[in-house]
Structure 1
Amino acid sequence: MIVFPAIDLKGGDVVRLAEGDMDRATVYGDDPAAQARLFADAGAEHLHVVDLDGSFAGSAQNREAAEAIVRAFPGKVQLGGGIRTPADVAGWIETGVARIVIGTAALKDPQFVKDMAREYAGAIVVAVDARDGMVATDGWAEVSDVSIVDMARRFEDAGVASLLFTDIGRDGMLKGVNIDATVGLARQVDIPVIASGGVKGLIDIDTLARFAGDGIEGVITGRALYDGRLDLAAALRVAKQA
């Protein structure tokens, strides 16, 4: 199982939001590239980066910071936030991003995702962000009438690399991962699932690792790392054993 340390970007800073609310941001640093190097030094081989401003604007707003992260991090970077056109995808791939996370466009233009998954095999991740089981879009500001399972099943034969499932109500809240919903989704689709939202400590990593055989590919963690509640090296050891 993969552990993805998270770097969320807002105004060029490293931040974490509470429940996806841009007005409830905690700033953890002003040097995203330095943070990426710290994660690498702890043993991380994968990194999850989100352009939060881009998610709301619909286009890249923290490109300079994101590019600096890609240059600084020796492993694989997974990036999301405002990626909604073929040119967006191509540009980030050329920059060196290993995997592209598509959320809003996946709901509003599923054919776009399918086309990108064919063109960039193994490089497209679909974000399934949910409030109360329904898919949220546009930086989580809007909630659709589409269930997470229905959304995920649209892409089962599309060749996407993974589904990134976030329980928005737990994101940045240290409430613990929604294990039931995450594993339930993984068991209902044939696409690997990455868990996100609510990691509070090593217990979440250990619990998710037990379901690696059910299709849990990885887990994203942010605030627990920044607040010192989770030791990244320990998390990586537990995940590797899985």
Structure 2
Amino acid sequence: MIVIPAVDIKNGKCVRLLQGRMEDETVYSELPWKMALKWQADGGTVLHIVDLDGAFAGYGVNDNAVLEIVERVDMLTEVGGGIRDMARIDTLLGMGVGRIILGTAAVENPGLVRNAIEKYGPEKILVGIDAKNGIAATRGWSKDAGRPAVDLGLEMKDLGVTRIVYTDIARDGMLTGPNIPETENMARETGLKITAS
């Protein structure tokens, strides 16, 4: 098992949100790269980065903070939040990001997932499935996707995805750990590698 620390960025700061509510934040650092270096010093080998503002806006908002992290750490970085087209994927990978996490785009534009995997390979393109009561959510968790998370996972597998980052929204930011039964169910039903978030 690999423990993957996370740096969630809002307004250029490292924060934690309770269940994805933008108004319910705790600021951990004014400089996200300092938190990233702390995780690296603590033994982290992979770093999960989320542009929270980007997730809601639909485009990259905190690129400067992401770039500062990527330039300073020796860890494999994966970034999600507001990545909705190939140009954005190209930009982030060009900045030195190691892996891309597609969430809303996977639901709304599955062709992008297929094309990105064809261009960069499944080791560089992950899909984030965020769910509440087993139903996928999009657009920074503000919209119900209207379909079971497992069904979305199976569709992504058919497109060539090999790893899912699975989040139970009700548990996120609550410091209670991931929803193990739902994560196990996703792994069992899809046969994919799962990162429990």
1:154-200: per-residue Cα shift (whole Å, max 9, x none)?
A: 1213232410110000001123321110001101112201101xxxx
- 1:107-146 alignment, distance < 5 Å: 107-121=107-121, 122-146=123-147
Query: For residues 181 and 78 of structure 1, what CA distance do their matches in structure 2 show?
Result: 23
Question: Which whole-Å CA distance do the structure 1 matches of 2:67 and 2:107 have between them?
Answer: 27
Question: Post-superposition shift, 1:91?
Answer: 0.6
Task: Give the SS at the match of 2:7.
Answer: strand
Q: Please tell me whether the aligned partners of residues 9 and 15 of structure 2 are also in contact (alpha carbons under 8 angstroms).
A: yes
Distance 1:66 1:35 in 2: 12
Gap runs ≥5 in structure 2: none
Aligned 8 A contact 2:167 2:178 in 1: no
- Which one has more relative contact order, counting CA pairs under 8 Å at least 6 apart? 1
| Map of 1:45 onto structure 2 | 45
Deviations 1:35-70 (A, max 9, x none): 111111111110000000000000000000000000
Aligned positions of 1:146-165 closer than 5 A: 146-165=147-166
The CA deviation string for residues 117-151 of structure 1, in whole angstroms up to 9 with x for no partner, is: 11111101101100111000000001121101110
Alignment-mate amino acid for residue 16 of structure 1: R
What's the secondary structure of 1:129's corresponding residue? strand
1:34 shift after superposition: 1.3
Which residue in the other structure is 1:64 paired with?
64
How many residues are matched?
196
Q: In the alignment, is the contact (CA less than 8 A) between 2:126 and 2:163 conserved in 1?
A: yes
Question: Structure 2 length normalisation: TM-score?
Answer: 0.97
Specify the structure having the higher radius of gyration (Cα). 1
Q: Distance in 1 between the 2:127 and 2:177 partners?
A: 22
What code does the residue aligned with 1:101 have? I
* Residues in 2 aligned to 1:177 and 1:153: alpha-carbon distance in whole angstroms: 21
What's the CA shift for 1:78? 0.5
Letter of the 1:21 counterpart: R
Gaps of 5+ in 1: 197-242
For 2:192 and 2:159, how far apart are their aligned partners in 1?
10
Letter in 2 for 1:91: T
SS at the partner of 1:151? helix
Letter aligned with residue 137 of structure 2? A
Asked if 1:182 is matched to 2:192, the reply is no
Q: Does 1:194 align with 2:195?
A: yes
Distance 2:8 2:92 in 1: 16
1:195-224 Cα shifts (integer Å, max 9, x gaps): 01xxxxxxxxxxxxxxxxxxxxxxxxxxxx
Measured at CA, do residues 99 and 148 of structure 1 come closer, stay the same or move farther in structure 2, by a change above 3 Å?
Answer: same
- Residue matched to 1:30: 30
SS in 1 for 2:64: helix
**What one-letter code is carried by the residue in structure 2 that aligns with 1:151?**
L
Separation of aligned partners in 2, 1:98 and 1:189: 24
**Amino acid aligned to 1:77:** T
Give how far 1:31 is off.
Answer: 0.9
SS, match of residue 126 in structure 1: strand
Q: Is the 8 A contact 1:118 1:158 kept in 2?
A: no
Task: Give, in angstroms, the shift of residue 33 of structure 1.
Answer: 1.1
Sequence identity of aligned pairs in percent? 41
The reply to whether residue 77 of structure 1 matches residue 77 of structure 2 is yes
Matched with 2:174 is 173
SS at match of 1:173: coil
Matched with 1:102 is 102
